[in-house]
Amino acid sequence: MMNIAILGYGKMGHLVEEVAKNQRINVPIILDAENEGGREITAEKLKDIDVCIDFSMPTAVIDNVKACAAIGKNLVIGTTGWYQHLDQIRSIVQSSAIGVVYGANFSIGMNLFFKIVEEAARLVSKFETYDPFIHEAHHKRKLDAPSGTAIELERLMKSEYKSLPVSSTRAGYIPGTHIIGFDSEADTITLTHTARSRQGFAEGAVMAAKWINGRKGLYEFREIFGSALVV
């Protein structure tokens, strides 16, 4: 039976624990605020752990990766907002020969949406009469705008469009919503993903943990999504 450790015990950490246990995965170790600087990630404490799942804070990711690398533990990074350090993370992973999966969004539905958007952009870009756009909306407590997911959607479409507008709304209690549109004089095509809860994120993170168990290297969840589905 697989054993995972959860790094960060906020709303996502609680959901990951629930999903893991429903799939008969053991969660013997949960590290939260006391893990500042990765100091609680030790060989002794995590000796029976197969994979760690990090939903902590962006400022903690580097220390957590270093600590996991030092003791040879694979890691799923669900935390976002640290991608400016991606080259450093890649270097750590390569030098330590651990396995790491990261992603802008671990939602299974959103990763299906990524693939749909890629194909839509490829098809619609052949018709110059359509102008693309991205709009995303979240509740007022979400600080980053545009969201990491919107930035990823923009990146996916950049292979077909050199530039496209990205807009954001932060208000009230709006659930995470991402809209991809293609507008022409004749009509408008829209694709929409709305997240009703964080459940899909937790399910994706646990799926990634099962996939990376026993593997080495740095992987983006979107890239391994198809093969992870069959684990």
- Level-2 CATH architecture, domain 3-106+199-228: 3-Layer(aba) Sandwich (3.40)
Closest CA to 163 of 110, 194, 125: 125
Say if residues 99 and 74 touch (Cβ distance below 8 Å).
Answer: yes
Please tell me the predicted confidence (pLDDT) of residue 39: 82
Distance CA 44, CA 73 (A): 12
Please tell me the predicted confidence (pLDDT) of residue 116: 96
Please tell me the predicted confidence (pLDDT) of residue 197: 87
* 89-134 pLDDT, tens digit each: 999 999 999 999 999 889 889 999 999 999 999 999 999 999 999 9
Please tell me the predicted confidence (pLDDT) of residue 68: 97
* Mean predicted confidence (pLDDT) in 210-215: 96
Catalytic residue among 14, 45, 66, 142: 142
| Mean per-residue pLDDT over the chain, rounded | 93
Please tell me the predicted confidence (pLDDT) of residue 174: 94
Catalytic residue among 138, 178, 193, 210: 138
Please tell me the predicted confidence (pLDDT) of residue 229: 66
Give the Cβ contact number of residue 87 at 10 Å: 9
Please tell me the predicted confidence (pLDDT) of residue 231: 57
List 219's β-bridge partners, or say none. 101
Bigger pLDDT: 78 vs 37:
78
pLDDT of residue 37 exceeding 80:
no
Distance CA 186, CA 221 (A): 37
pTM of the predicted protein model: 0.83
* 42-100 pLDDT, tens digit each: 999 999 999 999 999 889 999 999 999 999 999 999 988 888 999 999 999 999 999 99
Please tell me the predicted confidence (pLDDT) of residue 230: 61
Amino acid letter, residue 212:
I
Please tell me the predicted confidence (pLDDT) of residue 143: 76
- Would residue 178 show up in a list of annotated catalytic residues for this protein? no
Q: How many secondary structure helices (H) and strands (E) does the chain include?
A: 7, 10
Distance CA 136, CA 150 (A): 7
Distance CA 101, CA 1 (A): 21
* Mean predicted confidence (pLDDT) in 173-201: 95
Distance CA 178, CA 135 (A): 6
Closest CA to 17 of 70, 65, 58, 53: 53
So where are the chain's domains?
3-106+199-228, 108-194
- Would residue 11 show up in a list of annotated catalytic residues for this protein? no
- Level-2 CATH architecture, domain 108-194: 2-Layer Sandwich (3.30)
